[in-house]
């Protein structure tokens, strides 16, 4: 079923919309969540919570790109779950490493999790990303939105791991300059 029809079913409060949503996007949302929480049961729970959050959000929201809308919801739920599970532990997981890498761009000592909640920062990062090449933007999003490992990104894009690391390093430096110039941080 097409996304517009799924959104309309949910908008009309027809529960078949959630069934269609689950059928079409279950694997997509599960992959995003599992990459963050690294636990099958927690990922399934985050996906189920995504359906509930979607039901409660539409209306009033009417997403133009359903996959992105769902990705944001499941990602935020998964990050919250991850934080809850690892509140006392800090380590070298890929989620923590990705967040630490981005923290280098944020100079005021706040965490990326808190800064990302501010609309101004989000808009500034989006503006920055749209000014990058498609490949660089894709690498950046796969690393910091989808929390993919460097090896996964390299394999998926058929480039060397060193190339991925270089792209990310250069983009973090450019982003730091961009955010300072935009007076966001």
Q: How far apart are CA 60 and CA 52, in angstroms?
A: 14
The two three-digit tokens of residue 107, written as one number: 């100079």
The two three-digit tokens of residue 68, written as one number: 């992105």
Q: Which residues contact 110 (CB under 8 A, 6 or more apart)?
A: none
What are the chain's domains? 3-85 (1.10.1740.10), 94-181 (1.10.10.10)
Look at 34-43, 50-59, 115-124 and tell me which has the smallest mean pLDDT. Answer: 115-124
Q: Is the dihedral of CA 80, 42, 94, 181 positive or negative?
A: negative
- Report pLDDT digits (tens) over 4-54: 999 999 999 999 999 999 999 999 999 999 988 989 999 999 999 999 999
**Would the pTM count as exceeding 0.75?**
no
């Amino acid at each position: 079923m097409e996304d517009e029809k799924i959104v309309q079913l949910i908008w009309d409060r027809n529960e078949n919309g959630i069934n269609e949503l689950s059928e079409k996007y279950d694997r997509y949302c599960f992959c995003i969540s599992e990459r963050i929480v690294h636990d099958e049961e927690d990922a399934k729970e985050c996906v189920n919570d995504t359906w509930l959050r979607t039901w409660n959000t539409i209306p009033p929201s009417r997403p133009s790109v359903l996959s992105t809308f769902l990705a944001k919801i499941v990602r935020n739920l998964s990050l919250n779950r991850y934080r809850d599970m690892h509140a006392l532990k800090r380590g070298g997981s890929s989620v923590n490493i990705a967040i630490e890498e981005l923290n280098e761009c944020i100079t005021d000592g706040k965490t990326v999790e808190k800064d990302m909640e501010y609309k101004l920062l989000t808009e500034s990062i989006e503006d920055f990303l749209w000014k990058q090449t498609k490949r660089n933007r894709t690498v950046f999003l796969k690393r910091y939105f989808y929390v993919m490992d460097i090896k996964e990104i390299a394999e998926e894009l058929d480039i060397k791991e060193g190339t991925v690391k270089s792209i990310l390093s250069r983009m973090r430096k450019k982003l730091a300059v961009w955010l300072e110039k935009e007076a966001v941080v």
